[in-house]
Amino acid sequence: MADYIYLLENRLSTAQKNALTAVREVLKAKGLTLFLVGGAVRDLTSGSPVRDLDVAVQGNALKLKKDLELAGAVVTGSVDATQSLFLRFPGGVRMEIGSTLSVTYPKPGKPVYTPATILEDLRRRDFTANAMALSLNDGSYGLLMDPLNGVADIENRELRLVSNYGFIEEPVRMIRAVRFSARLGWTLEEKTQTRYETGKSEGYISAIQDAQKGYEAEEIAHEEDPLRVMRRLESEGWMQVIAPAWSSSKANVAELDKVREVQTQLQMQGIHPDPATVNFPLLTAKLNAKEVADLKKSFPRPGFVEEIDALEAEAKAFATELGGKAAAKPSAAYKLISSAKPEAVLSVAYGSKSAALQAKFKSFFGEWPAVKNAIPYALMQEMRITPELPVYTELVEKLFFELMDGNLGTTEELKAFLEPYSPPAPPPPVHLRRPRATRKDAKGAKAKAKREAEAADDDDDDDDDDPSDPSDEDEAEAEDEDLNEVAELSLGGRRRRDEMDLDEDDGGDEDEKPAKKSAPSEEEPEDEPVAKSKPAPRASTSAPAPVAKVAPAPPPAAVKVAAKVVAKAPAKVAAKVVAVAKAAPVKAKAAPVKVVAKKAVPAKTVKKSSAPTPVKAKVVAKAAPVKAVAKKAVPAKAVKKVAVPVKVAAKKAVAKKAVPVKAVAKKVAAKAPVKGKAPVKVAKKGR
Mean pLDDT of 632-653: 39
Q: Per mean pLDDT, which range of 233-242, 267-276, 449-458, 595-604 is the poorest? A: 595-604
| Residue 566, pLDDT above cutoff 50 | no
Confidence of residue 460 (pLDDT cuts 50, 70, 90): low
CB 28 within 8 A of CB 68: no
pLDDT of residue 261: 93
| Residue 300, pLDDT above cutoff 70 | yes
Confidence of residue 605 (pLDDT cuts 50, 70, 90): very low
Tell me the one-letter amino acid at 625.
Answer: P
| Residue 123, pLDDT above cutoff 50 | yes
* Cα gap 686→23, rounded to integer Å: 114
Percent of the chain residues past pLDDT 90, beyond the cut? 57
| Residue 194, pLDDT above cutoff 80 | yes
pLDDT of residue 476: 54
Each residue of 21-32: pLDDT tens digit? 999 999 999 999
* Cα gap 301→73, rounded to integer Å: 14
Helix axes 226-236, 253-268, angle to 10 degrees: 140
**Triad 669, 670, 676: Cα angle to 5°:** 65
Mean pLDDT of 214-218: 94
Cβ contacts of 601 within 8 Å, gap of 6 or more: 547, 588, 589, 590, 591, 593, 661, 665
CB count in 10 Å sphere of residue 110: 11
Measure CA 142 to chain center: 27
Could you list the beta-strand ranges (E) of 20-166: 34-37, 53-57, 74-79, 84-89, 93-99, 101-107, 110-115, 133-135, 144-145, 158-159
Q: Which helix (H) or strand (E) holds 188?
A: strand 187-188
* Cα gap 71→21, rounded to integer Å: 10
Could you list the beta-strand ranges (E) of 509-668: 587-588, 603-604, 626-627, 647-648
- DSSP-derived 3-state class of residue 463: helix
Q: DSSP letters along 51-72, please?
A: --EEEEESS-GGGGHHHHHHTT
- DSSP-derived 3-state class of residue 79: strand
Q: pTM score, two decimals?
A: 0.61
Name the nearest CA neighbour of 657 among 597, 609, 612.
597
* Cα gap 515→411, rounded to integer Å: 93
Q: Domains for the chain: give ranges and CATH numbers.
A: 1-151 (3.30.460.10), 157-249 (1.10.110.30), 251-374 (no CATH)
Give me the residues paired with residue 79 across strands: 84
* Cα gap 34→137, rounded to integer Å: 7
Each residue of 318-362: pLDDT tens digit? 999 999 999 999 999 999 999 999 999 999 999 999 999 999 999
CB 209 within 8 A of CB 242: no
CB 584 within 8 A of CB 606: yes
CB 92 within 8 A of CB 273: yes
* Cα gap 558→6, rounded to integer Å: 96
Which range, 344-348, 586-590, 666-670, has the best average confidence (pLDDT)? 344-348
Each residue of 374-418: pLDDT tens digit? 999 999 999 999 999 999 999 999 999 999 999 998 999 999 999
| Residue 578, pLDDT above cutoff 50 | no
* Cα gap 105→165, rounded to integer Å: 10
Q: Per mean pLDDT, which range of 62-66, 502-506, 552-556, 641-645 is the poorest? A: 641-645
CB 186 within 8 A of CB 158: yes
